[in-house]
Amino acid sequence: MDERRFNTNAIHAGRSGFQPDSMAIPIYQSVAYPYADAREAAEIFRGEKPGFTYGRWDNPTVQVFEKRMASLEHTESAIATSSGMAAIFMLAHHLLDEGDEFISSNLVYGGTFGLFQKGLSRMGLKATWVTSPEDPDAWASAITPRTKFMFVESPSNPNLFIADLPELSRLARKHGIPLIVDNTICTPALQSPIDLGADIVVHSTTKYICGNATALGGIICGPDEITEGIRKGCIRYIGASLSPFNAWLNLIGLEHLSLRMERHCQNAMIVARYLEQHPKANSVNYPGLPSNPYNKVAQKQMKGCSSLLSFELKGTYNDAVKVIDSFKLMVHATHLGTCMTIATHPASTTHSAMGEEEMRKAGISASLIRISVGLEDESDIIADMEQALQMIR
């Protein structure tokens, strides 16, 4: 772990051993690295000499991003992937053998749900869903001798469930199973799952870490045994690696991550308070609100509640569509974590593949609207929300 503090590491970590002649980390837009001679190539491939091999396994720009993320997430190392979903898939592929099982909260991003439910089950891997993930006994009773990991997204997309991470970590440790946390929504600026007892952290860096809508990316932060196992194993054979340009965009995002997260949290709290008292909102999901059931646990383990929130309208699917279509400032898109405020209808887009029954269990109704609060002036976001809510009875 790097001894410097978070903001310093977000700007400097990963540079050592790397001698760029420019302030910005250069983009090594190359898939291969010429060797001095055949002996050197063999030594590098055997891991006896530091160096780079081939773009599917490693790249100097990507390596700086990996080292920086490992430093911010307090892990031995990290491996970057082409997207958040690639990170989750690579990790599951590495940890599971045919016939194995794993446990996941059902309150996860729709793509993760689909991968676990459909993609992995076709490979003979069984997901056991915990449908009351706030209850440690529900996790405990799902564990079998074939369970190879526990997976939790906290905070979760789109309903902002917050898991008690120290409690889940204790359970995982007791059974000798790694706990994986998807830390996409908080980022390491607001939550450190490893310090709370988790073993492995995954991210869609596409979201807050990049900070705009320019680069897909993912990362797995954990012990060398896992990250290097993935590098020597499936990523080398599949090639779901992060591109140098996307790594560079993510490095830029990291430099001001905590400043952005601070303002994201402030703006989200203002929007959440406004929605909480609004006569057209049935309920608001934002753990920063004192009335939220996860507020206490969020305060214990997070420095801030990030800026994803969702609210249920007093109304129907048609009302939700009308509100979303009426936004003038907010962007209507299936994305989150950018400087622009984004509105999404999860039931018909990001989570639609779950199907109605699973969405019902996960509390994703037809009148639920997800907002990723951006960095604009808060009064402009509220004014846009108000004029859109006025469009329904």
Q: How far is the CB of 82 from ligand PLP (least distance, A)?
A: 8
Number of residues forming the site for ligand PLP (CB under 6 A): 15
Q: Which of 169, 191, 204, 365 binds ligand PLP (CB under 6 A)?
A: 204
Report which of 166, 213, 182, 194 is spatially closest to residue 72, judged by C-alpha positions: 194
Question: Measured from the CB atom, is 72 or 91 closer to ligand PLP?
Answer: 91
- Preceding omega of 133 cis (within 30 degrees of 0): no
Q: Which of 58, 66, 100, 153 binds ligand PLP (CB under 6 A)?
A: 153
Q: What angle, 0 to 180 degrees and rounded to 10, lies between the N-to-C axes of helices 317-326 and 378-389? A: 140
Query: Rounded to an integer, what distance in angstroms lies between the CA atom of residue 349 and that of residue 326?
Result: 18
Q: How far is the CB of 78 from ligand PLP (least distance, A)?
A: 15
Mask for 28-67, x = binds ligand PLP (CB under 6 A): ----------------------------------------
Q: Which of 58, 66, 100, 182 binds ligand PLP (CB under 6 A)?
A: 182
Question: Measured from the CB atom, is 108 or 284 closer to ligand PLP?
Answer: 108
Closest-CB residue for ligand PLP?
84
Q: How far is the CB of 367 from ligand PLP (least distance, A)?
A: 21
Q: How far is the CB of 112 from ligand PLP (least distance, A)?
A: 6
Query: Rounded to an integer, what distance in angstroms lies between the CA atom of residue 14 and that of residue 248?
Result: 13
Query: Rounded to an integer, what distance in angstroms lies between the CA atom of residue 300 and that of residue 199?
Result: 19
Tokens of 20: 């760029």
- Preceding omega of 158 cis (within 30 degrees of 0): yes
Query: Rounded to an integer, what distance in angstroms lies between the CA atom of residue 147 and that of residue 123?
Result: 16
Q: Which of 14, 55, 111, 178 binds ligand PLP (CB under 6 A)?
A: 111
Element (H, E) at 10: helix 6-12
Query: Rounded to an integer, what distance in angstroms lies between the CA atom of residue 221 and that of residue 12?
Result: 18
| Beta strands in 121-213, from DSSP E residues, in sequence order | 126-130, 147-153, 179-182, 200-204
Q: Does position 184 bind ligand PLP by CB under 6 A? A: yes
Mask for 80-109, x = binds ligand PLP (CB under 6 A): ---xxx-----------------------x
Q: Does position 157 bind ligand PLP by CB under 6 A? A: yes
Q: How far is the CB of 207 from ligand PLP (least distance, A)?
A: 6
Q: What does each C-alpha distance from 202 to 37, 148, 215, 259 come to in angstroms?
A: 38, 16, 17, 22
Mask for 245-284, x = binds ligand PLP (CB under 6 A): ----------------------------------------
Contacting positions for ligand PLP (CB under 6 A): 83-85, 109, 111-112, 153, 157, 182, 184-185, 204, 206, 216, 218
